[in-house]
Structures are given as structure tokens and as C-alpha cells.
Amino acid sequence: MLLFDRGLGGDGWAGFATLESLADDGDPWVEGESRGVMNGLVGTPSGHLVMQYPPGVLALDALPFLAGRLADRALPESWMANGFELPPAGREPRGVFLSAAMIVLARNAVTLLGLFWIFQALRRMEISEGVAAAATALVFFGGPLIFYSLVGMTHAPVFALAGLLLLVLARQRETGSGRLALAAGTIVGAAVLLRYGSIALAAPALLAIFLGPGGRRRWPAFAAGLLPFLLVLPLWWRWLFGAWSPPYGGTWAISAASPWNVLFSPVHGLFLFHPALLLGAAGLAMALRRSPGWGAVGAVWFLAVAVLYGWWSEWNNAGGYGQRFLTDALPALGIGFAALLQRQQGLQGQQGREAPGEVFPVPAVSAVSAVPGVSALLLALLGYALFFAAVGGLAPPPPGLPWPQTLADYAPLLHHPPGPGELADALRRASLPVRAAAGAAR
């Protein structure tokens, strides 16, 4: 995350421009702050431009945004006096760069928090430390977070909240606590205020609470945590758009094409651009077959997110890298990776019976299985190679699009493999620290 730089990304400018407008003008109209970047912006009946996203991103980014402005005031005027290149907006003043950099660093930090919470959740499920660490690493390096932890969009913080939700649900299933059910609802509500599609997280949360002590009697506590956040949205829409519903890009339609489109489509299919995640899904199927419990929660979690986004007309993410919409489902795939990596025998004395916290029966002395472990590593490296070729400009995208759309876009690399000099230039193009140390690419 410190090596590669993607700035705010296209959509990240919408929230950034709104914060600028609120701080400088006291209103959310961004036609004066858009810098020609129209990603995530919509028009209102009054003729203003506003961001199309829910308001959580503003609360999330307010502190790093202000920290960047304070740094701009504190630093010597000669430092970065000519501004800095921030794609796709172009060269921007130093203060804009610093605020944007603080927001991206905050995305890095919440990504690490999300990974830490997933690791802690797996440990509470009686997964050994080594397997939990390996599964957590595969969640990051095997999926779309290798890109979306680098930009000021909302995927990284939603992932972090999903990781926290998994940890809270792991604790709630142990005790049946009503307060933890309330906390789970609050986390899902906070995620919805960042991305509307995060409402899919309610399905696995309700199932996990149902399977724990107290069962469905804890659902009202979950609803009490969730509903206040949902009630904020109509008020936000009315104030910002002048309507009781949001003008959001794309359309929604229930379709039998979902979830196969987001998972297997040649255009940004999850398992094509992030092939290691196929093993995580296989691990979920294994856990589900051997025992209910966390296998069922993980499977419902993964499918709820995939099905919901498969119903959206923008599921293929033509303007972005890979299949970013499945970041909400990555904690569930952490369960799958753990199930795949853990030996498939019962605990001594349990004879294959699932204990309350376990993903599925494990040995008394757990170990990472060599074959799935090596396979997952190789597939993660393949996905990482696709990522590097894209951000380094080695795989030119189709005309008019910012990133490769299918694996066929990488085919020229097979016919003409890049040499050491080309790889070095790609690293310079992809990395701000390398450019600062070694100069720009040739």
C-alpha cells in the first residue's frame, strides 16, 4: 500500500469535492470544485452538481481532509510550491495533494484494521494462529483490495466494517449477547451510509445471530442498531437531491444472470481477475458440507453480496479495476480460506462434532495443508501480476476505458514479455515513492 499510488481514484473525487465545498462555501454544490472529474456526480433539479453517494464518506474523510489542510499551513511555502499531479484531475495545489494523501493513508489504515479484525474473528472460531494469518493474507493479496486499498473510494472502509462485523458476530455467537446484536446492526448501518449495497451484510448477520444463543429473539436488537442509519438516508436525499430517493447511476433488476455474471464473466469476473478467491469459495463449500454454523454464515454472506451486485446494471465495473463490488464479501472468503487450509479431521475427543465457535472440525494440532496452500499462493501471485501489469501500463486497456477489461487484454504480454527495463519503467509509473527516488519512467 505504501509502494503503489492511485490517488483518490475517479469516484473518490466526488466526496473530496463535496468536503471542499462544505469547508469553503458552506454548501454541497460541487460544480466549482469538480475539476472536470464527473465520476460519482449527478445533477439536481436546481441545476447543481452533487455527489451521488450516501453521507458516510464525508464523516469518514473529514478528519484526514482537515489534517491535510493543517499540514499545508504548517509546512514551508517552498516545499512542493508547484503543486502535484493527481490523476485524473491533473496538477493540483499542494494543499489539495496533502488532503488527498491523508485520505488515501486513512484508507490504508482502515484496510489494515479490517484485516486485523478478520484475523481476530478467525482465532475466536478456534482456527490456529498460522492458518488464520495465512487466510487473512490471502483475503488481501488474493482479491480486489490490492487495488482498492490504494484509492480514496469507499470500498476499503466498507471492507473494514465487514471485518469488524465478522468479529462482533463471532463474539455474539458465543454469548448470545443482545448488546453485541445491537452492535452488529450498528456496523451494518454504518456500512450502508458508505455504500448502499452493503445492506447485503444484514443477511449473514441475521443468520449468525439466529444460530447463536437466543436465536431470533436477538433480531430486534440488531434492527434497533440498523434502523437509525437507514432513517438518515431519506433526509439526506431530500436535502441534497430534493427527492425522497437517490438519483444513482445504473439500474437494478432481478435477473437469473446473477451471481454468475460477477463471478465468472470474461469482463471483470471475480474468479478470472482474482483467481485465488475461487479457492476461498471452495473452502466455504467444504465448510458448509461438513457442518452448518460458520460455513452457512460464510456462504450466505458471499452469495448475498454477489447476487445483489449481479442485479445491478453496472456489475461489470467497466470504469474500474477488477471486480471491486465483492470487497464486502472478503471476510466470508476468509472463513473459506481457513477451512481450506486447515486439516480436515475432527478434534481429539470430538469425533467430527462441531464446537460452538468452530468453522468445521479441526485437528488438535492444526497445520496448513501444503497442496491448497501452494495453490492459493500461486493463484494470488497470478492475480497480483495482473494488477501490476494494469497499474504499470504494461497491459493497455481498450480505447476509452482506464483499465483492462478481460484477460484477452493481457495477451500481448504473452507474445512480447516485458524485459527488465520495461518492468522498471512500469514500477515507476505505478509507484510515487519509486518515481521520487529513481525519476520518471522513460
pLDDT digits (tens, 9 = 90+) for 22-69: 999 999 999 988 888 888 899 988 889 999 999 999 999 999 999 999
Give the closest residue to 406 by CA, choosing from 261, 263, 270, 266.
266
User: Do 97 and 149 have their domain in common?
Assistant: no
Cell of 240: 441534497
The segments of the chain whose pLDDT lies below 50 read 344-357, 362-367
- The rounded distance, in Å, linking the Cα atoms of 28 and 236 is 11
Query: Rounded to an integer, what is the distance from CA 322 to the centroid of its chain?
Result: 12
- The rounded distance, in Å, linking the Cα atoms of 407 and 104 is 28
What's the pTM value of the predicted model, to 2 decimals? 0.93
User: Do 273 and 411 have their domain in common?
Assistant: no
User: Do 356 and 304 have their domain in common?
Assistant: yes
Write down the pLDDT at residue 346. Answer: 36
Examine residue 238 and state whether it is found in any structural domain, yes or no.
Answer: yes
User: Do 37 and 80 have their domain in common?
Assistant: yes
**Structural domain of 57:** 9-101
- The rounded distance, in Å, linking the Cα atoms of 422 and 363 is 48
Mean pLDDT over the full length of the chain? 90
Examine residue 4 and state whether it is found in any structural domain, yes or no.
Answer: no
Examine residue 320 and state whether it is found in any structural domain, yes or no.
Answer: yes
Tens digits of per-residue pLDDT, 295-332?
999 999 999 999 999 999 999 999 899 999 999 999 99
Write down the pLDDT at residue 369. Answer: 54
Name the β-bridge partners of 51.
41
User: Do 211 and 345 have their domain in common?
Assistant: yes
Write down the pLDDT at residue 39. Answer: 87
Write down the pLDDT at residue 437. Answer: 87
Examine residue 1 and state whether it is found in any structural domain, yes or no.
Answer: no
Tens digits of per-residue pLDDT, 319-375?
899 999 999 999 999 999 999 998 543 332 343 444 444 555 544 334 455 778 899
Write down the pLDDT at residue 389. Answer: 96
- The rounded distance, in Å, linking the Cα atoms of 342 and 277 is 16
> Do the beta carbons of residue 324 and residue 269 sit within 8 Å?
no
User: Do 89 and 112 have their domain in common?
Assistant: no
- The rounded distance, in Å, linking the Cα atoms of 68 and 71 is 5
Q: How many residues does the chain have?
A: 442
User: Do 109 and 91 have their domain in common?
Assistant: no
User: Do 375 and 412 have their domain in common?
Assistant: no
Among the candidates 101, 119, 142, a domain finishes at 101
Cell of 330: 472478503
Examine residue 406 and state whether it is found in any structural domain, yes or no.
Answer: yes
Examine residue 2 and state whether it is found in any structural domain, yes or no.
Answer: no
Reduced to 3 states (helix: H, G, I; strand: E, B; else coil), residue 342 is strand
Write down the pLDDT at residue 343. Answer: 57
Among the candidates 80, 101, 122, a domain finishes at 101
Write down the pLDDT at residue 348. Answer: 29
User: Do 43 and 113 have their domain in common?
Assistant: no
User: Do 114 and 230 have their domain in common?
Assistant: yes
Examine residue 384 and state whether it is found in any structural domain, yes or no.
Answer: no
Write down the pLDDT at residue 38. Answer: 87
- The rounded distance, in Å, linking the Cα atoms of 442 and 421 is 9
Write down the pLDDT at residue 336. Answer: 96
Domain count for the chain? 3
Among the candidates 84, 101, 118, a domain finishes at 101
- The rounded distance, in Å, linking the Cα atoms of 408 and 393 is 15
User: Do 14 and 38 have their domain in common?
Assistant: yes
User: Do 97 and 107 have their domain in common?
Assistant: no
Examine residue 368 and state whether it is found in any structural domain, yes or no.
Answer: yes
Phi/psi for 92 (5° steps) reads -125, 160
Write down the pLDDT at residue 297. Answer: 97
